[in-house]
Amino acid sequence: MSDVSKLVRVYIKIRDAKEIKKKQMEEEIAALDQQLEAVEQELLEVCKSTGQDGGKTPFGSFTRGVKTRYWTSDWDSMYKFIREHDVPDLLERRIAQTNFKQFVTENPGLMPAGVNVESKYSITVRRSK
């Protein structure tokens, strides 16, 4: 067996072991998240029934708060709204990697100032059938 064959075999073995451990960990974390959710619901019920927004115990304190999340199901209207009101800061600052790569490929002479590019080689290993 060649050195390259051994390396590929070992790579696949390690990757498989890593995937098994990852699935086990995800299952354990999901169970813990369910337990946390149940305790959180009980604490929210305590706040609701007592009218308080938190409290202290010998083990720690708890606080009830409101979390609000926003999203859109109509991006065309959202972009129009942002342009009309000049509020680009309503969007997060990150580049859509796949879209930007396609743009640069189609427009090789165009690159906004301040954009950094990093390319590096990687290895992809596939299991033989």
- Give me the residue spans of the domains in the chain: 3-106
Over residues 114-129, the pLDDT tens digits come to 999 999 988 888 888 8
Query: CB under 8 Å to 64, separation ≥6 — which residues?
Result: 43, 44, 47, 52, 53, 54
pLDDT band at 91 (very low <50, low <70, confident <90, very high): very high
| Residue 41, amino acid | Q
pLDDT value of residue 6: 95
Contacts of 111 (CB under 8 A, 6+ apart): 104
Task: Say if residues 54 and 65 touch (Cβ distance below 8 Å).
Answer: no
Question: For the segment 3-38, what is each residue's pLDDT rounded down to a tens digit?
Answer: 999 999 999 999 999 999 999 999 999 999 999 999
The predicted model scores a pTM of: 0.65
